[in-house]
Amino acid sequence: MAKSSVLGYPRIGADREWKKALEAFWAGKLEESEFHGQLQEIRLNHLRKQREKGIDCIPVNDFSYYDHVLDTAAMFGIIPKRFSYKGGVVPLSVYYGIARGTKDATASEMTKWFNTNYHYIVPELDGSLPAITENRPLIAYREAKEKLGIEGKPVIVGPLTFLKLSKGYKASETDTWLERLLPLYVRILQELASEGVQWVQIDEPILVTAISADDLRRLKTIYETFAASVPNLNIMLQTYFESVENYSDIVALPVQGIGLDFVHGLSGNLTSIKELGFPADKVLGAGVIDGRGIWKASLREKLDLLEEVAEFVTSDRLIVQTSCSLLHVPVTVNNEASLLTELKGALAFADEKLEEVILLTKAVSSGEAIIVDELEKCESALQALKRSGERNRNDVQQAVASISAQNPERHLPFSERHLIQQNKWQLPLFPTTTIGSFPQSAEVRKARQLWRKGEWTNEQYAGFIREQIDLWVKLQEEIGLDVLVHGEFERTDMVEFFGEKLAGFAFTQNGWVQSYGSRCVKPPIIFGDVAFNEAMTVEETKYAQSKTELPVKGMLTGPITIMNWSFVREDITREQIAYQLAYALRQEVEALEQAGIGMIQVDEPAVREGLPLKEQEQANYLAWAVKAFRMTTCTVQDTTQIHTHMCYCEFHDMIDSIEAMDADVISIETSRSHGELIQSFELNTYKLGIGLGVYDIHSPRIPRVEEMSNMIERVLRVLDPKLFWINPDCGLKTRGFEETIDSLRNMVKATQIARAKHQ
């Protein structure tokens, strides 16, 4: 009999109760004991739900107080020295300090979890002496068993993945660090085995990337050590997000189960099994339900796939499961009351995916006749969406086909545009600006809520937005910034705002997912052909420009970011979706320029996260991603300065593509990574305008003038001073009023020091 499982469940809760508890605790509104109690109840409710749905192998230790990679570092006492950790169980003050920063210590770097929109906290190994502080998987296992009678499946980030995602050590020290960590992992597993744990899920998603021969050797050492140390413990070596590299080596490891992604890694993993078989002594965790997408699975297609797999794996050695953790999708479709019928019928969030896993498991074990009604309902729902008029707009499809066949490029090269733009704008050395958004206070959020509820008229709300623009234009002038923004007070989210004004989008009421920490986002759903309806940003930007003699940037979100931060349709390629978005946004860029806005920022923070995990697919993705950006911006005049922004990704391997976007100015995060991106420019010449963010806006601390001055001086050793801008590393929407003012004042002071030194 096949069994069912999931690899992890969303932490946040259907009503974001997890987020609310965290933020109440950080604000001092919850005592620590009460905070622990609230999180335990959330955690237990998630386990109850999976049990009630009928999941056989329920994950434990997938729940986190912030991030599962940070949890792993804390479990091993890997704490940066600047947090003055004294050993033992890591206090919440230190744990959250690493994630968010403190008054005296900067937060650890945050970056994307593989190619998803989830961010993890990067462990810093330098200077740490790893030791077990507490056995978190054991604690989670005991809780599930004692409180609910659930025989849980502890989940642990594997040693190789943990090492490869960490920083603070040289490549030559990898084996040394493995020697330090491996005994700790062994002890964790031995304690789990002694407790009677049946299965442990060890996540090694790094195995879907290209790893070296040395890493394969390390992998073999790790799992041979585990096999010798805990011979009676069943280990499910779990991979996800793509097909595994080195399939033969991996399935030969001495583990009891191998988990493979048959959604995003379908072609590669299925080919490997067909050509090389699957070991008769191992269980296959078949990830056939998409843990990252929101679309209802075609149960018929999934059963056909499982039939192919059944040629190599008997049902008693099969676990039907999600392709990855359900961390990446909203909790339930049941709370959505306003979606189009044909759209809602084709959706499946976390809870619905549990049901899909159960249905497929039943069919594999007892024959598909047992779910024949569900099969028919599923196919009917999917066909209804396919026939929708929103998915069949010939006008959009023909226009996009026409412009995407052209080579999008500016009239003049950057070297000539730059001189023209300098002559027009007369900007000082090291121009200062911000990334776009200013603090969205409780007053701003309340005003938007009143307007959305119909308690405020459009005129009242527009008047309120103008008041906020007036305030912040004046403040920016007083602070001494050179290029201003209107502040984006009318926008809830940098993707949602545009999606609400474009055709082809839909929006959930409760479709929240975790992005980082307590930061939850509600991704739009691109379910139809994307089309421009009317100007989206002109009114507020033009108003702000009328209030100052200084330039005001128009602010747009770029096509790749809108796509990567949305749930997208699966019936056409992502490249086609990107070009539809680019065509729509081009019309907005042209509207801004026609309204007299001469600087336009098209943000693309999510380009890097869409990069395929397979190296052989990356060049093609970057080519059409760059093309989509240029399609958006190529029609403006030579005097119009195009800006873009990227944040919280590793860019060293795509500097050439960033330059190929041909933006006049790009701003990139560098403060949270403690300036490491600068090393990329020490090795690569960059010839366009660039601003490297000089302070971390995700931390509540106010940066000192001295630390920003040091960052600026380091940058100026590798970048052309005439092309260098100074800015924060991201938007300021989530920051408080006073800290924003003080931080920007310090940034301007640091700029003035640099100007005096380099004039």
112 is in an annotated binding site: yes
Please tell me whether 19 is known to bind a ligand. yes
**Residue 117 annotated as binding?**
yes
Report the C-alpha gap between 471 and 468 in whole angstroms.
5
Give SS3 for 41: helix
d(CA 641, CA 431): 13
SS (H, E, C) 315-365: HHHEEEEECCCHHHCCCCHHHCCCCCHHHHCCECCHHHHHHHHHHHHHHHH
* Residue 501 labelled as part of a binding site: no
Whether residue 693 is annotated as binding a ligand: the answer is no
Reduced to 3 states (helix: H, G, I; strand: E, B; else coil), residue 405 is: coil
Active site residue 698: yes
Q: Does the annotation list 647 as a binding residue?
A: yes
Q: Is 18 annotated as contributing to ligand binding? A: yes
Q: Is 519 annotated as a binding residue?
A: yes
Question: Hey, is 702 helix, strand or coil?
Answer: coil
Question: What is the torsion angle, in degrees rounded to the nearest 10, for the CA atoms of residue 514, residue 18, residue 296 and residue 527?
Answer: -50
Closest by alpha carbon to 65, among 87, 43, 34?
A: 43
Measuring CA to CA, which residue among 330, 356, 327 is closest to residue 4? 356
The two tokens of residue 251 are 């399935």
Say how far apart CA 660 and CA 607 lie, in whole Å.
Answer: 13
Is position 488 annotated in a ligand binding site?
Answer: yes
Continuous segment of H or E residues that includes residue 552:
none
Query: Is 706 annotated as belonging to a binding site?
Result: no
Q: Please report, for residues 160, 175, 288, 410, the alpha-carbon distance to residue 246 in angstroms, rounded to integers and kept in the order given.
A: 15, 20, 21, 44
Instruction: Select from 293, 299, 300, 395 the least CA-distant residue to 349.
Output: 293
Token couple for 315 = 């049902």
Question: In Å, what is the CA distance from 558 to each residue of 46, 528, 530, 625, 661?
Answer: 36, 18, 14, 10, 12
Write the CB contacts of 491 (distance below 8 Å, at least 6 apart in sequence): 437, 497
Please indicate if the annotation marks 645 as binding a ligand.
yes
List the structure tokens of 347. 């959706």
436 is in an annotated binding site: yes
634 has binding-site annotation: no
3-state secondary structure of 298: coil
In order of 43, 133, 134, 590, 659, the CA distances from 91 in angstroms are: 20, 11, 12, 53, 44
Provide the angle, in degrees to the nearest 10, between the axes of the packed helices 299-310 and 266-276: 20
Kindly name the residue from 119, 328, 698, 758 that is annotated as catalytic. 698
d(C-alpha 285, C-alpha 273), whole Å: 13
725 is in an annotated binding site: no
Compute the distance between CA of residue 193 and CA of residue 585 in angstroms, rounded to an integer. 56
Q: Is 113 annotated as belonging to a binding site? A: no
Tracing tokens 């590393």 back to the chain, one arrives at 729
Contacts of 489 (CB under 8 A, 6+ apart): 438, 440, 444, 465, 468, 469
SS3 at position 516: strand
Cα separations in angstroms, 387 against 374, 384, 393, 394, 686: 20, 5, 11, 13, 48
DSSP secondary structure code for residue 514 in this structure = E
Alpha helices per DSSP H over 692-736: 705-716
Q: Which residues line the annotated binding site for 5-methyltetrahydropteroyltri-L-glutamate?
A: 16-19, 112, 117, 519-520, 565, 609
Q: Which residues line the annotated binding site?
A: 16-19, 112, 117, 435-437, 488, 519-520, 565, 603, 609, 645, 647, 669, 730
Q: Which positions are annotated as active-site residues?
A: 698
Q: Which residues line the annotated binding site for Zn(2+)?
A: 645, 647, 669, 730
Q: Which residues line the annotated binding site for L-methionine?
A: 435-437, 488, 603
Q: Which residues line the annotated binding site for L-homocysteine?
A: 435-437, 488, 603
